[in-house]
Structures are given as C-alpha cells and as structure tokens.
Structure 1
Amino acid sequence: MGSESTDPVDKKPARDEPPHYHGHRERLRARFHDAGADALSDYELLEMALFAALPRRDTKPLAKALLKRFGSFAEVVHAPENLLREVDGIGEASITQLKLLAAAAGRIAKGEIKRSLALSSWNDVIAYCRSDMAFAEKEQFRILFLDKRNQLIADEVQQTGTVDHTPVYPREVIKRALELSATAVILVHNHPSGDPSPSQADIQMTKAIIGIASPLGISVHDHIIVGKNGHASLKGMRLNLACAPARLRAFTIR
C-alpha cells in the first residue's frame, strides 16, 4: 500500500528540472475548459481530480490503476475506503479528494430531486438513488416520501443490514409516512452483489406495504432496486403487486 507522504516520486523536483507531467496537466486543464468534461475520458477526469491531492506527482498511472481495480469513475469515487487503500499510491489525501467528489455528487443529485417534481423527473430519481446507494457494501432500505404533488418531503434510510439482507418493518414505513403527512412513497434498496433483480422476499415485502398503505390513502409508486450493474423497477417489470392482506410482521429483503 502506497502513501503520498512517503512515495519518493511525490518529492518536489529540483528547480532546473521541471516535472515531465507539467505540460500534460496544463494541456488537460485547457481541454477541460475549452471542450468540457465530455471531451475527457474517465481516467483523465480522475487525473484532474487527484491534482490537488498529489501536486507533485504524475496522476495518470494512479488514475488508470484505480479504474482497472474498480471499473468506472463512479465506482472509484464510491469505493469503500479500505479497498481504496489497497491500491498502490493511494493515501489519505487522495481518499479525501475522492470522497469529496462522491459527497458533492450526492448533494447535487439530492438538490435536483428536491427542486423538481419527482415523477416528472424519473431519470433523476434513478440517478440519485444509484449515486447514493449502488456501491454501498451493505444493504440499505430507504424511502422517498412524497406529497400530493409528488414533491419530495423527506428521504430517509430506514434500515441498514448486511451484505445480502436487511430487515424491513411495514408498520414502521407507514407510521413514518403518516407522521410526515405523505400521500405517496417510493421504496428503494440496494443489492451489494451488483445484480438488481428482485427476490421473492423483495416482492412479498412490497405487496405487504401496499396492502397496509392503500386503505390509508398512501400510494406506493414503486420499489426500485439499485446495484452497480443497473437498476430494477418493480412497477416497470409489471409484476403483480396487488394488495396483499395487511400483515405487520417484519420482512427480510435479499
């Protein structure tokens, strides 16, 4: 495991020996400003993101190593810190920089959701859920609470479980919806395995919540499952989600 503070290539070069990557950094910045982010590849964006953390190192090899290890820009910035530390050349400054990017992306996405009508911006809803949950190491069950205009009232993580399951309590879902005067909810959970396909437990839990919510005038607009390999919408899959008999037992989604 490498560290910025001990890596010899991070030492400041002699004044009469300008770093070989200096011109490359300037050209990359110019292309970013002139042509925009779309003109840069994932590894080039990562290079730039690491400039501030590694001011005296060539960040291209590190950016490529990160992408080789994790797969994409999004997966790099959302990767768990302990796994990032396994990449040679990564230290605390680099990890902080990457986690800042992840936090900024989540904050921006959440702000966009709050400013828009949730159901008229379905792609934004999906993007927000994936950016915040798709790369988590543990399963999370969260709820988006909506008002009668389908605007977001609250976004809350109700339960956090293990790598392959988390408990869900339908009674607590509806209790919280009533506390917030929500008229609709969107259920969301992640599959750390990467495969967003719903399990039978996921489907049964969704039916149970619909069965309790419906008589109270609360709509369950959808149950979205996200993973690093995509997402699944139970509504979009046209599953039979007709109201099940109201049962207040806990479910374990997988």
Structure 2
Amino acid sequence: MSPNRAFHEAPLPLFTAAEPLHADDEAGLAAIPAGRLPSYLSDHRKRLRERFIQGGPEAMPDYELLELVLFRAIPRQDVKPLARLLITHFGDFNRVLSAPIQRLGKVQGVGPAVIQELKIVAAAAQRLARSRVMHRPVLTSWDALLDYCHTAMAHREIEQFRVLYLDRKNVLIADEEQARGTVDHVPVYPREIMRRALELSASALILVHNHPSGDPTPSQADISMTGRIAAAAEVMGITIHDHLIIGKSRELSFRAEGLL
C-alpha cells in the first residue's frame, strides 16, 4: 500500500442503516465523494453481513471476518485491502486480534480506532470463554477450560505463565497471570505461587503456559520448573492437577504425558 493511501477512522456501530460520508474522509484506494457510500461498497458490506448472519463465521475466510470488524473503525472506505494486509502480516484472524498494540500500530492504515476495535473483539472472546469456566468445577468441564486457555494464550507472541486456583470441590476460584517473559522463556517463582494459593485458600492448582513457537513440546526447563512447583505444593498439601502447555493448534498435558 503506498504511503499516500491512508485510512481515516471513526468508530461506528457494526450494523448501520446508512453510513454517511464526511468531506475530510479519504478512501484507501480512491477518494469517495461526499454523500452516501458508493453502491459497490454498500452492496459488498451488505453481502458480507448477510452471509455472516446466515452462515456464521465458518462461512467466511479470515480476511472477510476481519472486514466486518474493520467496518466499525473505518466506516466510509473499502477495508478489504487493509484486512488482507493484516492477515498477511500476522498470519490469521486470531493472530491479528492477539497482536501487540505496538506492532499493530506499525501497519500502514492502522490507527487508534482500528486497534480499539480489534482489542474489543479479543477481550469479548476471552471474557466469553472465561465465563464458561470461572466458578465451575473444572475437572468436569475440561473441554471448556482448554477452549479458554487457547483463546487467551495460543496466539500470544511472548510466553505467559498462568495459575488456575481451585477450591476443595475443584471449582475455579481464580485465574491469574503469574509472569510474562520473552518469546521462549518466562520466569516462574514457586514461592509466589504457593503464597497466593494460601491467600486464596486454594486446595489445587492447574499450571498453564504458552509456547509462541506453536509447538507445545516441553523443554527441560519446563519439566524442571514443574517439578519445583510440585515439590513446593506437596509440602503445603496442595494438589497439582496438571500443567498445560498451549501451542497454536494443540496443547500438551503433563499429566497425560506422565510428566507429573
């Protein structure tokens, strides 16, 4: 995209009956004169919205789903080029939503309104997934827990270590980020995890961290760190149900692999 083809943003509702233009707006590919949206743009947006309502997200490729989000931030321009650019730059829809704000801001055509819309959608997805596991028995809703972990962590570009704290009935009472690290390392402190478990009167824990590489195979450091936490938990009478490593498309369970 050439430097002089800038997108100008203004947040609007996703579904609007009419999308008026303002004189200071510029199109990504060509200037749109004052008045209503050109028919080719309004018809395109209408078709995408109808296909989404009728067929759901499964009926749309990533870039079209992203277009629907961008409609809100850039209501008076053709956003298909920007949607395709974002998918090419980050890889897929989920990685666009999860991309750091600083990296998003470096993409030509992305400004505060686009970043805000992307992060609202990401936050909504996480909150919905989280609501399906919080204050519920985790061991009987394991699939929902895995969905939540993938939604929250699978597409992050740095490692994050989370601890899920459970009560005596294995109900999830807290989900907390214990540490953030780099692309291939995150510092973890067993003493801090145990201190927090005592504060919450937790009886069991589930450890979760992601591998930004996408491969959930544990490193020797992962195995050693898990052993230190398990030893500290045993002294305190706290159960470690599992340690999950979240990759891009699958997860690894230390319990299932015989590593815990």
Q: Report deviation, 1:16.
A: 7.7
Pair 1:95-2:98 in alignment: no
**Retained in 2: the 8 A contact 1:7–1:89?**
no
Q: How far apart are the structure 2 equivalents of 1:115 and 1:226?
A: 22
Q: TM-score, normalised by structure 1?
A: 0.85
Which aligned pairs between 1:123-138 and structure 2 lie closer than 5 A?
123-138=143-158
**Retained in 1: the 8 A contact 2:163–2:176?**
yes
Per the alignment, do residues 16 and 219 of structure 1 end up closer, same or farther by CA in structure 2, a change over 3 Å counting? closer
Q: Report deviation, 1:74.
A: 0.8
Q: Indicate which of 146, 152, 159 corresponds to 2:166.
A: 146
**Retained in 2: the 8 A contact 1:118–1:151?**
yes
Q: Indicate which of 4, 7, 14 corresponds to 1:4.
A: 7
User: 1:160 corresponds to which residue?
Assistant: 180
RMSD: 2.2
Q: Report deviation, 1:135.
A: 2.8
User: 1:61 corresponds to which residue?
Assistant: 81
Offset from partner CA, 1:214-244 (integer Å, 9 cap, x none): 24331101111123353222112222x3xxx
Q: Indicate the SS of the match to 2:161.
A: strand
Q: Report deviation, 1:125.
A: 1.4
Offset from partner CA, 1:21-60 (integer Å, 9 cap, x none): 1101111112222233322222221111111101011122
Per the alignment, do residues 135 and 7 of structure 1 end up closer, same or farther by CA in structure 2, a change over 3 Å counting? farther
Pair 1:192-2:186 in alignment: no
Q: Aligned letter for 2:187?
A: P
Q: How far apart are the structure 2 equivalents of 1:18 and 1:57?
A: 10
Q: How far apart are the structure 1 equivalents of 2:247 and 2:63?
A: 22
Pair 1:173-2:173 in alignment: no
Which aligned pairs between 1:197-212 and structure 2 lie closer than 5 A?
197-212=217-232
Q: Report deviation, 1:116.
A: 3.2
Q: Indicate which of 90, 93, 101 corresponds to 1:81.
A: 101
Structure 1 runs (4+) greater than 4 angstroms displaced: none
Structure 2: tracts of 5 or more residues without a match: 9-23
Q: Report deviation, 1:12.
A: 4.5
Q: Indicate the SS of the match to 2:173.
A: strand
Higher relative contact order (CA 8 A, sep 6+): 1
Q: How far apart are the structure 2 equivalents of 1:143 and 1:19?
A: 52
Per the alignment, do residues 17 and 144 of structure 1 end up closer, same or farther by CA in structure 2, a change over 3 Å counting? closer
Q: Report deviation, 1:104.
A: 0.9
Q: Aligned letter for 2:154?
A: A
Per the alignment, do residues 112 and 89 of structure 1 end up closer, same or farther by CA in structure 2, a change over 3 Å counting? same
Q: Indicate the SS of the match to 1:8.
A: coil
Q: Aligned letter for 2:132?
A: E
Per the alignment, do residues 16 and 172 of structure 1 end up closer, same or farther by CA in structure 2, a change over 3 Å counting? closer
Q: Report deviation, 1:19.
A: 4.6
Structure 1: tracts of 5 or more residues without a match: 242-254
User: 2:17 corresponds to which residue?
Assistant: none
User: 1:216 corresponds to which residue?
Assistant: 236
Q: Aligned letter for 2:147?
A: A
User: 1:252 corresponds to which residue?
Assistant: none
